[in-house]
């Protein structure tokens, strides 16, 4: 099958949708499909067999496109439409595979050019408008809601990346050809094979003799780092040998959060690594004593949660739908959404070795049972087979 995949994001970057798309491409390649990826002009090229990457012109001369709705994305999406039309006219495709808001215009392109359409649903886009504080205008949110429902009703196949999205789509479109395909694959890049040993990272960041509490991911506000930092002093008062290691974030975000830490007089207890190679992330997990996710908003499960489950390390996370649709109290320390409660959750793990060991073991068992690579590939194959039979 020849597929035109349209991604209205920077690719590749160490962010959730980018990782998700990377893994979709890898699996489609392994299943023998030919994929042309049409995406934004910024990001890192990745070599994948059977995959070609096409980028629209960088008419805005930007080096970065931030997560969430923006006027930059709106301009680039208009260019994406023009390039998609050009590619559909000049090349032969069987299927359009769209991500996020590209589903809106891909619905019409699929009808015009007589192609099948898979809508890869990473989140509810009207909800994103609110979560990222892009607008509170009811008219604009209403338009996005209408476009989203039209896309769902018209798609030949839909991928929901988490149970909350799956349940919502099933509710409004019970007959949709819908598949729950969670982002469970390892976050690695094929061409980067070297891994840094955990001991080397401990020396690099001067962590010897420290109990390491680690966060890995983006530094967007909805991730809850403000809440975590607000309560960090409570953990330090109890454990002076604790050290908080934060992996990820842009340069500007790191400056902002480092300033928060300095104002609280906690600089000696925090290290910000910036973005690291995806293959290094597993080594960061191994050097840690606790993995945290203080997320506040959204309904899609963070990709790091699946990696956390496989890590063999105890997890502390907020009791939010983003976590609880995958995690439960048998596999993680779930806390109320407050600085005090989250800090107490970390303390409970640090002071109770048996609890930490029990949660870690149960988490890994859950990952092996429900979130395996084999299940992911099977779901993708079943979806594509259902399209081919139409």
Cβ burial, residue 258 (10 Å; 0-12/13-18/19+): middle
Q: Which residues pair with 36 in a beta bridge?
A: 4, 52
Residues 363, 382 within the same domain: no
Residues 211, 137 within the same domain: no
CB atoms within 10 A of CB 389: 6
- Residue 301, in any domain of the structure: yes
Residues 150, 207 within the same domain: no
For residue 302, pLDDT beyond 50: yes
Residues 148, 266 within the same domain: no
- Residue 190, in any domain of the structure: no
For residue 157, pLDDT beyond 70: yes
Tell me which of 67 and 78 has the higher pLDDT: 78
Residues 366, 306 within the same domain: yes
* The two structure tokens encoding residue 385: 């087979």
Question: Per-residue b/e over 157-187, b at no fewer than 16 CB within 10 Å?
Answer: bbbbbbbbbbebbeeebeebebbbbbbbbeb
- Please give the share of the chain, as a percent, with pLDDT higher than 70: 95
C-alpha 304/C-alpha 14 separation (Å) is 11
Q: What is the gyration radius of the CA atoms in the chain, in angstroms?
A: 21
Residues 293, 360 within the same domain: yes
69 falls in which pLDDT band (50, 70, 90)? confident
Residues 359, 382 within the same domain: no
Residues 246, 260 contacting (CB under 8 angstroms): no
- Residue 193, in any domain of the structure: no
- Residue 192, in any domain of the structure: no
For residue 220, pLDDT beyond 50: yes
Q: What's the per-residue H, E or C state across 217-246?
A: CCCCHHHCHHHHHHHHHHHHHHCCCEEEEE
pLDDT attached to residue 41: 97
- Residue 191, in any domain of the structure: no
Q: Which domain holds residue 299?
A: 198-370
- Residue 62, in any domain of the structure: yes
pLDDT attached to residue 135: 57
Residues 219, 349 within the same domain: yes
- 23-37 pLDDT, tens digit per residue, is 999 999 999 999 999
CATH number of the domain residue 202 falls in: 3.40.50.2000
pLDDT attached to residue 168: 93
Task: Tell me the residue length of the chain.
Answer: 390
Residues 157, 206 within the same domain: no
Mean pLDDT taken over the chain: 93
For residue 362, pLDDT beyond 90: yes
Residue found by looking up tokens 């896309």 in the block: 151
Residues 43, 178 within the same domain: yes
C-alpha 357/C-alpha 363 separation (Å) is 10
For residue 169, pLDDT beyond 70: yes
For residue 89, pLDDT beyond 90: yes
38 falls in which pLDDT band (50, 70, 90)? very high
What are the residues whose beta carbons fall under 8 Å from the beta carbon of 121, sequence distance 6 or more? 100, 103, 152, 158, 159, 160, 161, 165, 169
Strands 178-180 and 2-6: unpaired
Number of domains the chain contains: 2
* The two structure tokens encoding residue 267: 């600089």
Q: What are phi and psi of 260, to 5 degrees?
A: -60, -45
Residues 229, 90 within the same domain: no
- Residue 81, in any domain of the structure: yes
Q: What are phi and psi of 226, to 5 degrees?
A: -60, -45
- 170-219 pLDDT, tens digit per residue, is 999 999 999 999 999 865 444 444 568 999 999 999 999 999 999 999 99
Residues 141, 246 within the same domain: no
130 falls in which pLDDT band (50, 70, 90)? low
C-alpha 83/C-alpha 10 separation (Å) is 16
pLDDT attached to residue 278: 77
DSSP 122-162: SS-HHHHHHHTTS---HHHHHHHHHHHHHHHHH-SEEEESS
């Amino acid at each position: 099958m020849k597929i035109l995949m349209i991604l209205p994001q920077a690719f590749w970057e160490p962010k959730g949708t980018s990782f998700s798309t990377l893994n979709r491409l890898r699996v489609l390649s392994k299943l023998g499909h030919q994929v042309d990826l049409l995406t934004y002009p910024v990001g890192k090229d990745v070599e994948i067999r059977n995959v070609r990457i096409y980028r629209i012109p960088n008419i805005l001369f930007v080096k970065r496109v931030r997560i969430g709705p923006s006027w930059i994305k709106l301009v680039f999406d208009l260019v994406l439409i023009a390039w998609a039309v050009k590619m559909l006219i000049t090349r032969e495709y069987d299927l359009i595979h769209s991500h996020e808001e590209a589903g809106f215009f891909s619905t019409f392109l699929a009808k015009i050019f007589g192609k099948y359409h898979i809508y890869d649903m990473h989140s509810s886009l009207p909800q994103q408008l609110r979560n990222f504080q892009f607008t509170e205008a009811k008219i604009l949110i209403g338009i996005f809601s209408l476009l989203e429902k039209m896309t769902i009703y018209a798609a030949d196949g839909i991928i929901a990346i988490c149970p909350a999205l799956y349940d919502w789509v099933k509710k409004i479109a019970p007959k949709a050809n819908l598949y729950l395909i969670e982002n469970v694959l390892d976050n690695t890049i094929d061409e980067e094979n070297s891994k840094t040993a955990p001991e080397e990272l401990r020396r690099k960041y001067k962590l010897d003799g420290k109990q390491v509490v680690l966060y890995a991911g983006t530094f967007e506000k909805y991730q809850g780092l403000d809440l975590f930092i607000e309560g960090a002093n409570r953990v330090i008062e109890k454990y002076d040998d604790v050290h908080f290691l934060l992996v990820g974030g842009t340069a500007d975000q790191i400056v902002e959060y480092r300033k928060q830490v300095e104002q609280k007089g906690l600089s000696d207890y925090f290290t910000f690594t910036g973005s690291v190679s995806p293959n290094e992330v597993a080594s960061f997990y191994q050097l840690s004593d606790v993995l945290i996710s203080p997320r506040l908003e959204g309904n899609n499960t963070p990709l790091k949660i699946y990696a956390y489950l496989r890590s063999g390390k105890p997890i502390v996370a907020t009791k939010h739908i983003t976590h609880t649709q995958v995690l439960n109290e048998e596999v993680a320390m779930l806390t109320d959404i407050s600085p005090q409660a989250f800090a107490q959750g970390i303390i409970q793990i640090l002071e109770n070795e048996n609890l930490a060991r029990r949660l870690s073991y149960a988490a890994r068992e859950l990952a092996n049972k429900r979130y395996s690579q084999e299940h992911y590939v099977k779901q993708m194959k079943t979806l594509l087979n259902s399209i081919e039979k139409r």
